[in-house]
Structure 1
Amino acid sequence: MARPRTAMRDIREVLRLKHEAGLSERQIARSMRLAPSTVHRYLERAERAGVGWPLPAGLDDAGLEAVLFPPLPPSRVPRTPPDYGWVHRELRRKSVTLQLLHLEYKQACPDGFQYSQFCERYRQWAGRVDLVMRHQHRAGDKLFVDYAGHTIPIHPPGAPAWQAELFVAVLGASNYTFAEATASQQLPCWIGSHVRCFEAMGSVPALLVPDNLRSGVRRSHRYEPLLNRTYAEMAAHYGTAILPARAGKPRDKAKAEVGVQIAERWLLASLRNERFTSLAEANTAIAAKLAWLDNRPFAKLDGTRRLVFEQLDRPAMRPLPTTRYEFATWTRPKVNIDYHVDVERHYYSTPYQLVGHRVDTRVTEHTVEIFFQGRRVASHRRSHVKGRHSTEPGHMPERHRAHLAWSPQRLIAWAQRTGPATAELVEAIMTNRPHPEQGYRSCLGIMRLSRRYPQPRVEAACRRALAIGARSYRSVESILAHNLEATPLPSDEPDNDPPRQHTGLRGPTYYR
């Protein structure tokens, strides 16, 4: 083993100080800040090799090392070398060390190498393996996920072509790869790909290592990245954790980078001449190529990705939960004075005591759940009808008042300051709702238009809305935005058309 250059420089200086300066070993040790035993060993080796000072001309560091540290003669006892591929795979198992593997090796081969030679020869063997294979990934520990840089063209019949994304997931220990085509990189596709990946593997890893894409990480940070709440909820459902790679640090997700490269070469490139008419058709072709890739033998190791996955990763991974994760999105709206929250333009009631507070809403395909300080306070069946209300009677206060300070009479009195037409429209809006509180939001919006427009214009817009039968904030806002409040109403327009005279008219004499 080659020694550092600093060691050879130290030996040269030790010989000079001893023979030229005449210093003692302890003085040399203090001067060079070396241990006295080290100085003594250097001088002893030089004396045995017959090396003095000055050194022979042309003797470089390699020559000096060969003279002072000659290689040991080969052992006459035959040694049984270990299976370094087996050592490499076993080191990925949790808590397995080289010391333990050497002990097992010596039990099987008593004539084998000692611990130092065992470690040295393994490191030399591992140095000849690809860099990606030298990372010590524990079995079942990390799943690296990312999207490929290349896309897959989809050509639907009778529709324009579009580009599908390729989701790629790679296990750290076995390099077992999962891939599928998705419609986009948006949150529903991102979560769905994870769920299908877990189900394809039949188990869940301990950690997920994603890139800093928006669907996974809302805000990247070196120490405390802010995760997307849906992504974090999905990980909690499957009992795993998320460890995002640092921004601008590709080595944190080297497995994903290489996995994407392999997927692009062996999946996308091999399918480059295929023409897919649907996402399902593309995924069928990808699944066939993926099965071939995972069963393809390694170039420098024994076995395949699937074989190593079955031996190493799967036994160490967590089992799937009994239920599949149901996709849900989270929002944080503020409870309005009508004790309802806005979720995609539909309004869901909360306990009226939460008026003015921020709440968390969890929206699934069929339900809307409302949480306050971590406790669920309301649950509704999801509705896709915009502009309507879902109100639970138990959330209403006595006499249907959302707050003691608010009432229909107060809103009408407030609207009266703008004008009688505004007050009449506010009253009509609350009258047309099953509960007056459901109209509070529209009424407040109409009255606040006076902050953007002069009060006479707002009053005229409300008068026009009453005339045409409009009973909403959006109608009044549209009238003002298009300057329609000044145009004459249909009933106000004078009839200037002259009477029509033609032979078909019977006239008043006909009826006498």
Structure 2
Amino acid sequence: MDKNMISGEKARLLLKLKYLSPWSNRAIARHIEVSHQTVSRYFKSALTAGLTWPKVKSLDNDELITCLFPNYPFRKSNLIRPNCAEVYKRLNDRTHEKGNLKKEDYWREFLLEHGALGVGRTTFYNDLKSYRDDSDRSMTQFKAPGDYFFCDIAGSKVYIGINKDIPVSLFAGAFGDSDLAFMKGYVNENQESWLNFIEQVFIDVNGVPVFVVTDNAAALRTSRKNTKKITAQYRMFSEHYDFIPFDIPIRSPRYNYRAERTVRKFVDAILAYARELTFLDLDDFNTWLQSKVKEINNKISPKTNDTSTQRFLVREQQALRELNSKRFPLPIETHVITVQKDYKFVFEGGHYSIPENLKGQKVTVIVTKNEVEIKYKTKTVCIHTRLKKGERDSMKPEHMPMNHRVLVEQNKAHFIEWASQIDASVVTLVEAQYKGAGEPDYKARKACLQIQRLAKKGEFDKYVETCQWVVSLGRLTVTAFSDALQANVTSNEGLQEAYQLYQQQTQNNNGGRKHHVH
């Protein structure tokens, strides 16, 4: 890619910050590590293309770049790039050795090895810098209402239960302008607890801020050292509620002063009192905690002569953006797979279909408690209801090639509907082919097609009588039925006793219904 171009993912973040946040071009440039001229150029291109933020969200990364720069000649460089992981491994391994090598030495080594076939010096160093990705991000602090929600975990714990043997972690947060505080206790400090706390705040205030600032939330990152690499679940959560996630750099408390102050309020005003009380369970503790949080939010500030609740209702609530009415389904697992020839994803023994036109493409599979969602790039392709134990598959006919759809459409119900128009004995014979098998059962389908073909040869009365005969004897296989037709067993006087007994029973049940074949 041209050195003046940025990736589609970074371009999406650039436009999101430009459309939703009050940041300047230079602040955005520092955040995503580009020049402020690049920010200006991309935003002007978006305006020229008539892109709004809802329109940007609907495009995948490649479509976004095409809309911004329709005439850009995308070219893939064939030049050899450095193995950054190997370079940093060798650098770290030799850190404490005498006369250890520098990056310049590795550049010279790369140049000698590849010469004109390798990238240039600037690209070499830029690749190393991008791989390291450890530059300190700065975050401009704005006081505009509705911009920020800060959240953190208190270091001190409260113990609940009759024996006070269950530790509870306190999640605390506050809005940047009004300082409206929120607190809730959780038994775990995992990702689910973080997302539940943030989502509950959104529901309580019926709105979403532009930024959610978390303080060293290790459960929301894929790397302890890199605060930019958030988990796939947290990324999907932020896209669902349309906010910008921001995890502050390590050992940078000034970034999250609002949440830090809320934590101090808990430690100073609530912690000692809470440890003297006995809470039977977590709900009991959180009910008591909410009453204390309400007291904190309704306390009059001597500086502003109003309360946090008043400031929030007057200034901040109306500045929040609209809340997505659908709650976020927390993914249990996420998978990135390449769609194979059988166009399906297998999870816990169940088969879930993927549109066959995506064969060979990479898709993201998101498994939640009740659903399995298939996404291609940034768009949802389909959503399956998650199969229960014993259910075999969820293969949708619309996802199949035309020659495969008939395999699903000709199911047990299809053949029983046909058999019911002929005779009850034919229904019994069809049902026997599916006995003990799930759907779709291709072996049973093959047998039922053979039963249909035998009916199309004519002599329908003989067909029905023979079917009644084999059913009366319990010989419920296609082979037995076919052999009986060929042997014309219904005209054999020595075999009529069992047949006549069955015929008398079925006539009472059928009410003398006429037999016909469609």
TM-score of Structure 1 vs Structure 2, range by shorter chain:
0.3 to 0.5
Larger relative helix fraction: 2
